[in-house]
Amino acid sequence: QNLFPGDNDGVAASYGALAASLLAAFVADIAALAIRTPADVLALRLQVFGDKNVKSNFGDWAKDSVALLPAMILTDIPFLLSRIFLNAAITTGGENLGKYEFETIAIACLCAFLTTPFDVARTRILLPTLPSEEEEEESIILQSKEERTRRRLVASSKYREERRQKLSVPITMKRIAAEGNGGVQNLYAGWLERTIFLGVGRAWLDPLRVIGYLGIRDALLLKLFD
């Protein structure tokens, strides 16, 4: 149903349904990220440094995953919620399949482009932290050569300020924009690939999933109450 129907009761009902959809999506996304983030953390370590150079005992892995979860939520939510809101504002549910596909893909492409800075910041935050000079000196004194080659995804809690800046989305965005002469353009690196993947590569399936869900639901209801 469109977000802006004609009567006041319809408007109130639509806003209530939208608020419920946004809240449900928010909670579901947090739950999904809580499960997915540990896997992303370990996968990124292995991709960047390889199995031999990754300090991936369970304790460090779990701590790093928990530390990264707020940043993952903050960078994932904008695309999800903006897409739900625009879908509610633009689509009516009464379109034919072709029009519904076009609107869904266009909305997904727009949201993917506008939220690219969050995705860029997310990638940078997930990248393993190279040791600071203090950590390097301490490693030279206290650790063996093999241990010095290992990296954690984030700085240890001993360097709290460095860790806070590493995990801060606004600070990360500011730092990325300040790199080289790129400015804000740096925050839109990879926008075309992201837009194609999320807009064209994935969004076109959503109308088909909705139709499939409604078809299965109606078939089950008819069977149950026949």
User: Is a pLDDT exceeding 90 seen at residue 126?
Assistant: no
CA distance 91 to 95: 8
Q: What angle do CA 142, 147, 148 make, to 5 degrees?
A: 75
pTM: 0.72
Kindly report the average pLDDT of the chain as a whole number. Answer: 78
Task: Using the predicted structure, report yes or no on whether residue 13 has a pLDDT greater than 90.
Answer: no
pLDDT for 180 equals: 84
Q: What is the mean pLDDT of residues 206-221?
A: 79
Could you report the per-residue pLDDT of 32-91, keeping only the tens digit for each?
999 988 888 778 777 776 665 555 556 677 787 888 899 999 999 999 999 988 988 888
d(CA 206, CA 195): 16
Q: How confident is the model at residue 202 (pLDDT cuts 50, 70, 90)?
A: confident
Predicted confidence at residue 210, as pLDDT, reads: 75
Q: In sequence order, which residues have a C-beta less than 8 Å from that of residue 172 and are 6 or more positions away? A: 121, 124, 125, 165, 166
Contact 162, 155 (CB under 8 A): yes
What is d(CA 187, CA 120) in angstroms, rounded to the nearest whole number? Answer: 6
Query: How far, in Å, CA of 168 to CA of 191, rounded?
Result: 22
Range with lowest mean pLDDT among 54-63, 102-111, 131-140: 131-140
The Cα 9–Cα 193 span in angstroms is: 42
Average pLDDT over residues 164-174: 87
Question: 98-118: b or e for each residue (b if 16 or more CB lie within 10 Å)?
Answer: eebbebbbebbbebbeebbbb
